Structure 1
Amino acid sequence: MNLLNLIEKVVSFKCKQAAPSKSIKLSKVYRIPSIINLRKNYPTFRVEHNFSDLNTQILLCDSGEHEIVLILNYNFFHYSEIINTICDIPMPVSYETVGDVIHFNLNVEHLPYKYLIGKILYDKTGCTVINKLGNIKSTFRYYDFEYIGGKVDINSLNYNNEKEVNIDGTKYTIYKEEDILDLKERECKNTCKSYTTLSKDDFNKELLDLLIKDYCNKKILIKIDKLETTLVQNDVKFFIDLKNVYWCSKLQEERRKLINEIDSKSVVCDAFCGAGPMVIPLLKKGCQVYCNDLNEKAINCLKINLKINKIEEGFNIENQDAKVFLKNIQNVKIDHYILNLPEYSIDYLKYINQGKVHCYFFSNENDVKNYVFVKTGIINPNIRLIRKVSPSKNVYKLFINLNK
């Protein structure tokens, strides 16, 4: 039983029992229709009334002589309304979506609520919900994550007695507090003390207590052995192995801009191509692309994406260290180089001696020009801010035209 389905809110409205006309000014209520058919079953509320004629249309209007009661259910409320109703602290409402996966980067104060966050968002979207663990440290830039919501509810796992559970071909590994060295560093005090509600009389406190008991302050961490999804970006379908391959949906607009900057029939080198977010659109545009990635799993995704998009020619794929790859194609006439490994991209500029270079890198905004000068010797670099990653780190794009 999903306890969240017990959440209800009672609201009443003035109404008329009549057909709509220009003389009646209907009430405009957010997410509630102004004309209610008593014979219809609405997914987000039910109607309580004493009208004998069920064929009647009820018009919500301030001048109405009747009153109608609506019972708003769990489906009516947004994720943010529900989570902030149950919890005492402001909860995260923004997240990244990759296909049918929702990705959070929860702060420590939100961790006691992580499974409740995952449960509500899965109910609302049908997406698997994960939380990033720590910083990206892997050579291949994919991040470690924990499972916090999806097809498998935490309360269906016997986490007190089992360490591994296989469900529908996916292995769920359960780590208890004593199994995780850094869990104590992430632990915070029990903040589930009292509750705010949409209206103090609307929600049953016993129900909220049960939700807190079932979903909050669980000193466990759940990992899954695979997480694959598909998505459409810039009119291209992609298959992504999120367990082993880096993907950032927030870069969609930047990718679109760069794709538009590059003329069709251009020869392009993507030295850190990943699953092909730039490669596939450029090939569809008519470019020839030399693509490389050190991560074999990323190259596997790229090959799948080429098949999905029915692309059979115009590309050369390598699975090498970018230094070796760039040296090997120095005699090939390249029009555009794409270096998108922000932690290290700028260090690979020395292996490029021609073409237009689009180099993405990390830097502090107070030191960016000096950083580029120290690394490249360029006095007045052509730099553009791409996005803010953290208070002390931004992603920038350095553009260099080596043909001049």
Structure 2
Amino acid sequence: MNVLGFRVFFRKMSTLKNFSLIPVGVRGMKVLDRMKFLRNIEIPLIKVSVENLSKIRQHCKQYFLKLDNFKPVQDFEDEKFKKCIYLNPETITQWGDISESVRDALFSNGIDENNYSTKVVQLTYENWRFDAIFKAVLPENEEIVSSFSQIGHIIHLNLREHLIEYRQLIGQVLVDKIKTCRTVVNKSNIIDNTYRNFSMEVIAGDEDYLVTVKENNCIFEFDFSKVYWNPRLCREHERILALLKPGDVLFDVFCGVGPFSIPAAKRKCTVYANDLNPDSFKWLNHNAKKNKIILSLFKSYNLDGKDFIYNIFKDYLIEYCNQNKQKGLKIHVTMNLPAMAVQFLKYFKGLIDDKQHLDKFDCEIIVYVYCFAVGDDPDSIARTMINDSIGCDMSKYIMDVFDVRNVSPKKEMMRVTIKLTKEVLFDTNIYEPPNKKLCVND
């Protein structure tokens, strides 16, 4: 087809409202072939002189053609008009598609329909964003790769079953298009071992799992294949850290590589950080040194959460009661292991069995425990999980229930904030377990 024929054909097609500015003829591609992304498209443009370019471009900015490696304002071969502004063909197919207010503004600057024209432009693989490529290649009417997590130079995907056969292409496109990406991994949604790390496959780029992440003014380095890190929790880390004041104490029961502990110690809190995963423990201490944490404010442990509560936390409270040097100490306890953390709450009930410490106990203890709530009422489900774990009605001690993030349909990650009082720690009251329905067999 010659250029003229293409122009006529395209003008007819461009009046269709469903015109989409994506590559064509690549549906179902599984091995990336960049040459097949060439596409000739007739692009609307406005011819302008150099003198009034700055004013015109401000009025047209909302209609700019925005593509990778493509400048919407370019040189134009014309005796009078040396510049042109390319417009988005998905929005503009004729002069009248420009809003009346913008046309009036253009007219006041000497621009009218005579300045409107079109030009056939060849777009290449370099011009398409990754989302346009995925929309053009991956199966229609199915979920595609619309979002992902990036940890340092690694992009982490959870590909659905129907996308597995496209994984090499997906990975290569992301390496090509995301400048800060050198490695793409596909990981299972399921944490299938004690240490909370995932099985993963490198689908593109370098097999390099050592990453560097900056969060809350701290630098974290770790091996992403051996520890747990979720960039979607950055905002939640900020929320909790905002509640900590210099002089407070933090017990981080499942600390990972330190997203709560390291910034807290930097803010002059005394921190007791624990994780069962030896690799998390290794990188936790590495990050403490990396961020120049004052060692007198930071102690780390490689224990099971139960042992950490029964020994380190309990011993601290007993020593505090015996010394009674500081009045009204505020202690924060973070329990960020949403799949299991609630199960560890029962270890706080009756933790201190020596009642001689009861009268000396005057510190305020706030526990932030995370859980997954599956169902239509995550708030109620989270509260019930707390009561069932401790074995009594904790309603009066629950300060807040917060929805941290959506994990999947009808599955929310919740944070329950509990006030851990002397009544719970010393088990001074006789509690009745929550009411349960009587099951009668036929």
Q: Do the structures match in fold with TM over 0.5?
A: yes
Count of residues in Structure 1 that have an aligned counterpart in Structure 2? 323
Structure 1 residues 65 and 101 mapped into 2: Cα distance closer, same or farther (>3 Å)?
Answer: closer
| Equivalence for 1:321 | 304
| Aligned mates of 2:209, 2:271 — CA distance in 1 | 28
| Equivalence for 1:165 | none
Find the residue that maps to 2:150 and give its secondary structure. Answer: strand
| Equivalence for 2:43 | 12
Equivalent of 1:343 in 323, 339, 344: 339
1:349 shift after superposition? 2.0
1:147 shift after superposition? 1.4
**Structure with more strand by fraction:** 1
Amino acid at match of 1:276: G
Amino acid at match of 1:83: F
Equivalent of 2:383 in 364, 369, 381: 369
Find the residue that maps to 2:146 and give its secondary structure. Answer: coil
Equivalent of 2:161 in 77, 97, 108: 108
| Aligned mates of 2:311, 2:174 — CA distance in 1 | 47
Equivalent of 1:378 in 388, 393, 408: 393
Which consecutive residues of structure 1, in runs of 5 or more, have no partner in the other structure? 34-41, 152-169, 171-225
The structure that has the greater radius of gyration is: 2
1:271 shift after superposition? 1.1
| Equivalence for 1:395 | 413
Find the residue that maps to 1:385 and give its secondary structure. Answer: strand
| Equivalence for 1:44 | 70
Bigger shift: residues 130-139 or 271-280: 130-139
Is structure 2 residue 64 aligned with structure 1 residue 30? yes
Identity %: 28
| Equivalence for 1:192 | none
Bigger shift: residues 248-257 or 390-399: 390-399
| Aligned mates of 1:65, 1:144 — CA distance in 2 | 56
Matches within 5 A, 1:114-125: 114-125=167-178
Equivalent of 1:92 in 126, 129, 145: 145
1:358 shift after superposition? 1.1
| Aligned mates of 2:305, 2:407 — CA distance in 1 | 24
State whether residues 373 and 413 of structure 2, in contact with CA within 8 Å, keep that contact through their aligned partners in structure 1. Answer: yes
Which consecutive residues of structure 2, in runs of 5 or more, have no partner in the other structure? 1-30, 87-110, 318-329, 352-362, 423-442
| Equivalence for 2:133 | 82
Structure 1 residues 304 and 31 mapped into 2: Cα distance closer, same or farther (>3 Å)?
Answer: farther
| Aligned mates of 1:67, 1:98 — CA distance in 2 | 43
State whether residues 133 and 146 of structure 1, in contact with CA within 8 Å, keep that contact through their aligned partners in structure 2. Answer: no
Amino acid at match of 1:249: P
Amino acid at match of 1:18: S
| Aligned mates of 2:386, 2:66 — CA distance in 1 | 55
Bigger shift: residues 273-282 or 307-316: 307-316
1:269 shift after superposition? 0.6
TM-score (norm 1): 0.71
| Aligned mates of 2:213, 2:271 — CA distance in 1 | 22
**Structure with more helix by fraction:** 2
| Aligned mates of 1:70, 1:287 — CA distance in 2 | 60
Structure 1 residues 53 and 336 mapped into 2: Cα distance closer, same or farther (>3 Å)?
Answer: same
State whether residues 250 and 332 of structure 2, in contact with CA within 8 Å, keep that contact through their aligned partners in structure 1. Answer: yes
State whether residues 47 and 68 of structure 1, in contact with CA within 8 Å, keep that contact through their aligned partners in structure 2. Answer: no
1:265 shift after superposition? 1.4
Equivalent of 1:276 in 258, 273, 293: 258
1:309 shift after superposition? 1.4
The superposition leaves residues 199-232 of structure 1 with CA deviations (integer Å, 9 ceiling, x where unpaired) of: xxxxxxxxxxxxxxxxxxxxxxxxxxx5121111
Is structure 2 residue 275 aligned with structure 1 residue 293? yes
State whether residues 130 and 177 of structure 2, in contact with CA within 8 Å, keep that contact through their aligned partners in structure 1. Answer: yes
The superposition leaves residues 35-71 of structure 1 with CA deviations (integer Å, 9 ceiling, x where unpaired) of: xxxxxxx933799998377994335575426654433
Is structure 2 residue 320 aligned with structure 1 residue 331? no
Structure 1 residues 17 and 342 mapped into 2: Cα distance closer, same or farther (>3 Å)?
Answer: closer
Structure 1 residues 114 and 45 mapped into 2: Cα distance closer, same or farther (>3 Å)?
Answer: farther
| Aligned mates of 1:238, 1:289 — CA distance in 2 | 17
- Root-mean-square deviation (CA, aligned residues, Å) is 3.1
State whether residues 15 and 68 of structure 1, in contact with CA within 8 Å, keep that contact through their aligned partners in structure 2. Answer: no
Bigger shift: residues 274-283 or 317-326: 317-326
Matches within 5 A, 1:154-233: 170=207, 227-233=209-215
The superposition leaves residues 123-161 of structure 1 with CA deviations (integer Å, 9 ceiling, x where unpaired) of: 00142111113511110011111111224xxxxxxxxxx
| Equivalence for 1:259 | 241
Amino acid at match of 2:315: N
| Equivalence for 1:164 | none
Equivalent of 2:369 in 359, 364, 373: 359
